[in-house]
Amino acid sequence: MTREFMIRPDPSAPNLSTAVTGRDQDGNPVETRVVTEKPLTLFLNRQEIVTMMTIGDHPDLLAVGYLLNQNMLKRGDTISAIDHDEDLGVIVVRTPAETNYEAKLQKKVRTSGCAQGTVFGDVIDSFEGVKLASNSRLKTSWLYALTRKINTAPSLYLEAGAIHGCVLCEEDRPLVYMEDVGRHNAVDKVAGWMFRENEPADNKIFYTTGRLTSEMVIKTVMMGIPILVSRSGFTAWGVELARKSGLTLIGRARGKRFIVLSGEERIEFDADTGYEPDEDHKHRRKGSRDD
């Protein structure tokens, strides 16, 4: 069976957005939908780790993915339980062995990501040793098919805006599409899903709507995914880290246009751009998602 959109945004979900009234540029009354934003405090066993602002869906995947991407959980670790109290806004990930991360929390540094994006010093140390699959491939025909499918899929962004999306892909198929108010949260949800499903990473493509920053590159490499694609642009450190790690880094992927600044040896230019349509204005995202 072909896998496609196994998880996807649900714009109709009642708890993820709400209707708000206001006025437009002409002073006329309008009603628009805005995404929800709520705190979620994460504990690893008895240690409080972080409070994240999130739309509230898939809290278990967000919690596990955050711990993985911060190097607090390893790929081979066992999770004995995940307890979520929605009313209190608390989630507890339990492991058989207790761990104290107070020293690690002191090394926390703020990153360029919105909301609560953080990265720990030892994550960068671990990043140095990751080896990405050199035999993975990306056909440009897959890339064009992916961008069309993702950009035209129903989403909270098209419904309400003010949100980021990340999509785990395989060849020309979007597998898991996550959204959240911070792009790092959307990445972590995908990482949590891959951990829970024991999904291999070396044949995957990661698509994001946000900037290709150092944080995005580090998280993608830590997940073991060899190809990262975005509609948006690059930062210099993001490009430097991608080249250092051998990550294929593609930005400004809109319609038939894109720029690759790292790992171009993985790309097979099999599509005839003369026959590829440019991005239809009906499906262009409202405004810029580079923030």
| pLDDT over 90 at 123, yes or no | no
Q: What pLDDT digit, counting tens, does each position of 63-111 carry? A: 999 999 888 888 888 999 999 999 999 999 999 976 556 555 555 544 4
Of 5, 273, 227, 254, whose CA–CA distance to 148 is shortest? 254
Q: What is the mean pLDDT of residues 169-190?
A: 95
The encoded tokens of residue 149 equal 């499918």
Rounded to 5 degrees, φ, ψ at 187 are -60, -45
Residue 279 CB-density burial (10 A; 0-12 exposed, 13-18 middle, 19+ buried): middle
Instruction: Quick: pLDDT tens for 252-281.
Output: 999 889 999 999 999 999 998 877 777 765
- Check pLDDT > 60 for residue 288: no
Q: What is the pLDDT of residue 110?
A: 45
Superfamily of chain region 1-291: Cytidine Deaminase, domain 2 (3.40.140.10)
Number of other residues whose CB lies within 10 A of the CB of residue 45: 16
The domain ranges of the chain are 1-291
Indicate the pLDDT class of residue 121, thresholds 50, 70 and 90: low
Torsion angle, CA of 94/96/102/103, rounded to 10 degrees?
Answer: -140
Q: Per-residue pLDDT for 227 more than 70? A: yes
pLDDT at 287: 41
